[in-house]
Amino acid sequence: MGKMFCFQCEQTAGGKGCTIQGVCGKTANTANNQDELTCELIGLARAGYHGKRSHTADELIVDGLFTTVTNVNFDEDSIKSLKNKVSQEALRLGGTKPYDFAALWQDDKDIVSLRSTLLFGMRGMASYAHHARVLGKNDDEVTAWFYKGLAEFANDHTVDEWLALLMEFGQINLKCMALLDAANTGAYGTPTPTQVTCNIEKGPFIVVSGHDLRDLYMLLKQTEGKGINIYTHGEMLPAHAYPELHKFAHLKGNFGTAWQNQQKEFINLPAPVLFTTNCIMPPKENYKDRIFTTSVVAYPSMVHIDADENGKKDFTPLIEKTIELGGYTENQHQTGINGGDKLVTGFAHGAVLAVADKVIAAVKSGAIKHIFLVGGCDGAKPGRNYYTEFVKQTPKDTVILTLACGKFRFNDIDAGEIGGLPRIMDMGQCNDAYSAIQVAVALANAFGVGVNELPLSMVLSWYEQKAVCILLTLLSLGIKNIRIGPTLPAFLSENVLNVLIEKFALTPVTTPEADLKAILG
């Protein structure tokens, strides 16, 4: 028996589970504190589900689940403090005890697999609900389902009942993604296609990582006119496409690539980095004095910027550090992993559906033979160059829709155009998977067929729990033949995987050549 157990992400040790220390850098103590927090959350949800809910409990459940997502929070003290708040609120709502820690990952292996899938999906959905909430958007049906889902974790169900719950959850997650889409576009406008440079200007600058647009907005306001430039990193890249963020002249470009390269890319960086959400990795000695965290993200001894009671954040320590570091003394030419120095983002559903007539006509005329959705997470394990090679090998009469940080494998490639549209269209963050669904449904309606009958194939990469909730939503919509890689989730037992293969023809990726041949014939 190991000192901890965690198998929630793609890089889990030996493809089975981290038992000594997380491959992500999470210590056994942190992992166990996160498990205890999860047990308290189940206790709180049961109290609220069977009795009264509270506003405090609503927020604690969402933030507690988000805290346990991979690469979000490595800080035992903040996890313990959250756990205590959850425990007190559960008692206040009449709860009696948390879920049994020893039983969290123990049971029949198919049941553990199914209920873990639900838990991990809810962790992903919690991140969406959190981002929507800080922009003032809540959906009571979504909030209520967090109570239901966590309470169900403690109940006995047959395999079929668990599968039905997973499909019900997929539909709720669709609502939550729609909520976040409305929150982001309501606050910052409809994304429009926008070119972003990889080059970095001399002088003081800040790199902003993660997904939270509101944090970026607050920082842009507080740095306006101060001679400081702001660069996005990783999943923050699509922020450039939102009119209310793009209008800031000092939002200059994008620094670096996807999260797993940060320990190399931040070496000797003459600027601080703000992590608004995942994915933070254990900082190297060389740059650990310039990492700032906020919201649910935390890392021991890094500076954390909290919101006040009105949700406002004071980024003064970050701004002072920026001035102290001073930035580069000369302009820097930087590129993506394939050597390109320009990225284009902003093809969210608003932009794609605005040219839907063009796309439909091109599909009807045969100018576009096939549409691929190549999206999802990037990651550190080998094998992810599959996605670069896949995109490079797609025929010129095909279009690639993409989203999330896996796109950094190919988003600097100039793949040309079809009918005035770029062949590679970036729909946004993993948080914008809603856009891909909207486009697929709109195309299916336009052609009078189901999504499965479209000339559309989904080739997804997964790493952590947001990918789990997105996959469950796609399956709950009846979407079949999804290819997933680079490896299958360790938490899917053989039997559960077989059910998913049988019902949804879920397929592991093989090689780009073989998969393209299987798709295109």
Give the interface with ligand SF4 as residue ranges (CB under 6 A). 6-9, 11-12, 18, 22-24, 26, 31, 70, 234-235, 259, 278-279, 377-378, 404-405, 430, 463-464, 466
Indicate the residue among 318 and 430 with the shorter CB distance to ligand SF4: 430
Minimum distance of ligand SF4 from residue 192's CB (angstroms): 22
Indicate the residue among 223 and 276 with the shorter CB distance to ligand SF4: 276
Minimum distance of ligand SF4 from residue 158's CB (angstroms): 27
Q: Look at the chain and count its residues.
A: 521
Q: How far apart are the first and last CA of the chain?
A: 48
Cα–Cα distance measured from residue 428 to residue 343, given in angstroms and rounded to the nearest whole number: 12
Minimum distance of ligand SF4 from residue 443's CB (angstroms): 24
User: Which sign, positive or negative, has the C-alpha torsion 187, 191, 194, 200?
Assistant: positive
Residues 447, 454 contacting (CB under 8 angstroms)? yes
Q: Which residue number has the CB closest to ligand SF4?
A: 22
Indicate the residue among 6 and 129 with the shorter CB distance to ligand SF4: 6
Indicate the residue among 95 and 191 with the shorter CB distance to ligand SF4: 191
Indicate the residue among 205 and 463 with the shorter CB distance to ligand SF4: 463
Minimum distance of ligand SF4 from residue 282's CB (angstroms): 11
The secondary element (H helix, E strand) that includes residue 508 is strand 507-508
Residues 476, 167 contacting (CB under 8 angstroms)? yes
Indicate the residue among 215 and 464 with the shorter CB distance to ligand SF4: 464
One DSSP character per residue, 313-368 reads B--HHHHHHHHHH--BSS-B----TTS--EEEE---HHHHHHTHHHHHHHHHHTSS
CB atoms within 10 A of CB 408: 26
DSSP state of 232: E
Minimum distance of ligand SF4 from residue 4's CB (angstroms): 7
- Distant-in-sequence, close-in-space partners of 462: CB < 8 Å, separation ≥ 6: 10, 376, 377, 468, 471, 484, 485, 489
Cα–Cα distance measured from residue 94 to residue 289, given in angstroms and rounded to the nearest whole number: 44
Indicate the residue among 49 and 128 with the shorter CB distance to ligand SF4: 128
Minimum distance of ligand SF4 from residue 499's CB (angstroms): 23
Indicate the residue among 23 and 415 with the shorter CB distance to ligand SF4: 23
Q: What is the 3-state secondary structure (H, E, C) of 45-102?
A: HHHHHHCCCCHHHHHHHHHHHHHCCCCCECCHHHHHHHHHHHHHHHHHCCCCCCCCHH
Minimum distance of ligand SF4 from residue 429's CB (angstroms): 6
Angle between helices 494-504 and 159-188 in degrees, nearest 10 = 70
Indicate the residue among 139 and 378 with the shorter CB distance to ligand SF4: 378
Cα–Cα distance measured from residue 29 to residue 387, given in angstroms and rounded to the nearest whole number: 35
Minimum distance of ligand SF4 from residue 161's CB (angstroms): 27
Cα–Cα distance measured from residue 131 to residue 448, given in angstroms and rounded to the nearest whole number: 35
Indicate the residue among 398 and 431 with the shorter CB distance to ligand SF4: 431
Cα–Cα distance measured from residue 112 to residue 162, given in angstroms and rounded to the nearest whole number: 10
Indicate the residue among 40 and 235 with the shorter CB distance to ligand SF4: 235
Cα–Cα distance measured from residue 107 to residue 271, given in angstroms and rounded to the nearest whole number: 48
Question: What is the DSSP pairing of strand 370-376 with strand 456-461?
Answer: parallel
